[in-house]
Structure 1
Amino acid sequence: MTAAEIKGWCPGARRPMPSGDGLIVRVRPHGGALPVAALHALADASRRFGNGQIDLTRRANLQIRGVSQQTLAPLWDVMSSLQLLDDSAELEAIRNIVINPLAGLDPAEIADMRPIAAELENRLASEPELQALPAKFSFALDGGGRLPLSGLAADVRLVACGPAGSNRIAIGLAAADGVTWLGTTVMADAAAKAVRLARCVLQLSPTCRAAALPRPAIAAIRAELGLETSGTIQPESASPSQRCGLITLTDELCVTGLGVPFGRLDSDTLAHLAEILSAHAIGEVRLSPWRTLYVAAGRAVAGQIIADAATLGLIVDDADPMMRIDACSGVGCCSSTALATRQHARVLADAMARTRFQGSLHVSGCAKGCARSASADVVLIGESDHYRIVRNGTVRSEPCGIVDPAHLDPGAVALFKAREKADV
């Protein structure tokens, strides 16, 4: 096993990332949605040109794993035919935009952010100097509603504020302690302001990331953008009340939330899901940062989709402990660990159900913490042949004990209920 290497960048299609099971090729949908036909084509491409394993990422993208140098070009051909391949690695890297998965569908949203997302894509592509932005620089476009993006980290945030139809967008920057809200603008100017803001960060931040901006630079940026600052700028924060299962939007329309355990699908499962959706004349799937797929349908059809998805092993109930677990790929997919993280996480999911533990769990094969950057109630960090334990923290927090993988199941009561610093 080699030492953990934090690369500081994310895989792309034009710039795939080598891993323990081959190249990882990222697929970035436009506007957070994929046609069902594209979903089926990507499942087939994963089988033909990769190892048949597909990840859903925290940035609402897909990743095809196990690609080789020989199969990369034919995979690009498929992606190009689906209009999912950017002209260059630089253009692809800055097209890092996440929007609400129910945008344009949810009657409870304040604004449909899809037009802003489309304009932002075009503006980013038309300004070559912005290609110098770091590959992890991101934009979050939150229209509110049932599935807000309030917990998603992003360098630049555009959040609809005020009553529905008020046409106001709050603009914020990532900060060390959360978000610094700069002011508001009208929807028609939001994409242009976001691009100007990104340009300012590139010029004024020592790391080219928003969170590293010095305070005087933030004041200068606020003046540069000419935003409205009177009244309350900070939009109301909310958390989704439900992410999986049947979500009612109107009397006629529902959405099904289909969670993917650990964000990993095999190509057969994805193909079967695409076939199920096609049989019900469903044309589109929405992706999300919660590794959950969303499909809009009438109530009867939505109920059948949920039943069929459950037989495929997808998560259709928020109460399922798997919804509260993040686990990296582990041994066989990553050379930084010798631990079977996802196998261990499944053992712990059963233990969470038995002990009625309602908190979050992060199982990381090494100190990189690729699967989750946010704090979790319990964190296991792989080190050689064991895990270090962190409570209410991240992989960077001080550990309070260790646990042998062989003792995960019998030690679950202590792991999920103990508060003292002790080994398990």
Structure 2
Amino acid sequence: MSAAVEIKGWCPGARRPMPSGDGLIVRVRPHGGALPVSTLRELAEAARRYGNGEIDLTRRANLQIRGVSSETLVPLWELMASLGLLDDSAEREAIRNIVVNPLAGHDPAERADMRPVAAELETLLASDQTLHALPPKFGFALDGGGRLPLTELAADVRLVACGGTRGRRVAVGIAGSDDPVWLGTTAVIDAASTAVHLARLVLQLSPTRRSATLPPSAIAAVSAELNLDVSDIAPPSAAMGQRHCGVIALTDQTCAVGLGVPFGRIDSDALARLTAVLAAHDVAEVRLSPWRALYVVAGAVSAGQLVAEAARLGLVVDDADPLMRIDACSGAGCCPSTELATRQHARMIADAMARTGFNGTLHVSGCAKGCARSAAADIVLVGEAKGYHIVRHGTVKSEPCGMLDPAEIDVDGLFETKEKADV
């Protein structure tokens, strides 16, 4: 495959927006992954007024306003500042890359509410200018467990609530070449400061300033420096059943509602209508997630009504919907790296997935960058010129096994198993 694409190595921010095919992309990083419904309504209006009306939900539980111009950027900044969503500098914003469980504080099955740890971590990161040298993609996952854990989320530093002989603790880990490397446990009260100490060590010892590239000798040095409790450390258990969309029972009186956004893209009108629906049901806050879904908490009766109304707005409320198993980049018109209508093609394939009963995952990428998904997928389509390379059970970097002409999508052939395809 051709490698003639520009991989920027950084994500858009507010202070450092990223140029794209449809204008500037401005990222909004909510504190603790939460936004008041009133704020979300103002952001929907801002997307229409200052951008092209298109809003992305990212894999880092952020929002992106698309199509912003140089003339509308400053007014957008002013609005974000009034909402408490604009950092003092691009460097401070870039390292505020923290993801918390979307049901934190509401989920009776969680081991710990990690939002206070996240708030302290934000403060510590902002106050240490040496950490501004961390790469913009350096991430922290703060996982309290429960119904929607962050087990599959990639992160340089992981803080995972766990139990042990000494009661509630936090397991501290870093990204490894495959699975996380667990370094030990610490008290909940010390978790944020431990994460900052660990980030400093990665910055000093990793050749790429990312934890996944720490050599074994450096990992040993990090472990010795942190001096964590390893007496009862064990990899935190995998989560409960993960239902991402629709009604999720919490207590006898309350439910969470997961509202999936196909390909993570919603327009300002639909988002504004959604906020009106939420307000009508007395929902005050929306949580973002790494699954391109929004979460709210409501009473049992309201939850059922919300699902029906959200479905009419085009949101996904059923995990069986193939759209929630597809990642597709913006494609032609939004990104200069491709001429392919990736999301149009993805919707065509989603219909075929439903008809054929294919239950795997699909990644449609307009080029070899693979912006929409870094994890492996069962089928990956990697765009080059006017067609796609086909990868099975891999990523955009894996060896392809064939080509696909978008004008002649062979549904049965695309959904063959690898073994059958090799015959």
TM bucket, shorter chain: over 0.9
Change (3 A) 1:407 1:117: same
CA contact (8 A) 1:110 1:164 kept: no
Q: What percentage of residue pairs aligned between the two structures are identical?
A: 70
The Cα shift of 1:241 comes to: 2.5
Matched, 1:6 2:7: yes
Instruction: Please tell me the residue identity of whatever aligns with 1:396.
Output: K
Does structure 2 conserve the Cα–Cα contact (< 8 Å) formed by 1:111 and 1:165? no
8 Å contact from structure 1 (residues 244, 257) kept in 2:
yes
Q: Write the distance in 2 (CA, Å) between the matches of 1:284 and 1:345.
A: 31
Measured in 2, the distance between the counterparts of 1:41 and 1:178 equals 40
Distance 1:17 1:179 in 2: 31
What amino acid sits opposite 2:361 in the alignment? S
Contact 2:328 2:346 in 1 (8 A): yes
Distance 1:256 1:421 in 2: 40
Say which SS state the counterpart of residue 130 (structure 1) adopts: helix
Deviation at 1:97, TM superposition (A): 0.1
Report the counterpart of residue 318 of structure 2 in structure 1: 317
User: Hey, what's the Cα distance between the residues in 2 that align with 1:396 and 1:51?
Assistant: 32
Tell me the equivalent position of 1:126. Answer: 127
Counterpart of 1:416 in structure 2 is: 415
Cα distance, 1:374 vs structure 2 = 0.4
What is the CA RMSD across the aligned residues, in angstroms? 1.5
Amino acid at match of 1:387: Y
Gaps in structure 1 of 5+ consecutive residues: none
**Which residue of the partner structure matches residue 138 of structure 1?**
139
Aligned to 1:278: 279
The aligned residue for residue 357 of structure 2 is 356
**Take 2:420 and 2:401, find their aligned partners in 1: how far apart are those partners?**
5
| Amino acid of the structure 2 residue aligned with 1:416 | F
Query: Corresponding residue for 2:233?
Result: 232
What is the 5 A alignment of 1:208-357? 208-238=209-239, 240-357=241-358
Contact 2:185–2:233 under 8 Å retained in 1: no
| TM-score scaled by length of structure 2 | 0.97
Contact 1:148 1:240 in 2 (8 A): no
Report if aligned partners of 2:50, 2:69 keep a CA contact under 8 Å in 1. yes
Partner residue, 2:103: 102
Q: Deviations along 1:327-381, whole A, 9 cap, x unmatched?
A: 0000000001000000000000000011100000000000000000000000111
Residues 165-193 of structure 1: per-residue CA shift (max 9 Å, x gap): 93200000111122110000000000000
CA offset digits 1:112-139 (Å, max 9, x no partner): 0000000000000011111010000000
Alpha-carbon distance in 2 for matches of 1:170, 1:212:
20
Offset of residue 164 of structure 1: 12
Distance 1:81 1:404, change over 3 A: same
1:203 aligns with 2:181: no
Deviation at 1:296, TM superposition (A): 0.1
Aligned position for 2:373: 372
Secondary structure at the aligned position of 2:383 is classed as: strand
Gaps of 5+ in 2: none
CA distance in 2, matches of 1:215, 1:110: 31
Q: Secondary structure at the match of 2:161?
A: strand
Q: State the alpha-carbon separation in 2 of the partners of residues 87 and 218 from structure 1.
A: 33
> In structure 2, how many angstroms separate the alpha carbons of the residues matched to 1:222 and 1:403?
48
State yes or no: 1:17 paired with 2:15: no
